[in-house]
Structure 1
Amino acid sequence: TRNGEVVRRVVVYYHLEDGSVAVNEQKQENSGRVQGTLHRRAVAYHPDGTLFVPGDFRVGGQVKLSGLTFHLVDANAVARTFMKKSLGVEVPAALPYPGDESDLRHLRAEHTTGLG
Structure 2
Amino acid sequence: MNDQPEVSGAVRILPADVRLTVRNGETIVDAVRRAGYRTRYCCRRGGCRACKADLVEGQVRYPVPIAESVLSAEERAAGKCLPCRAQPAGEVVIRLSEKDTLTRVFGTFRPAS
TM over 0.5: no
Structure with larger RCO (C-alpha < 8 A, sep 6+): 2
Scaled by the length of structure 2, the TM-score of the pair is: 0.26
Scaled by the length of structure 1, the TM-score of the pair is: 0.26
Higher percent of residues as helix: 1
Greater C-alpha radius of gyration? 1
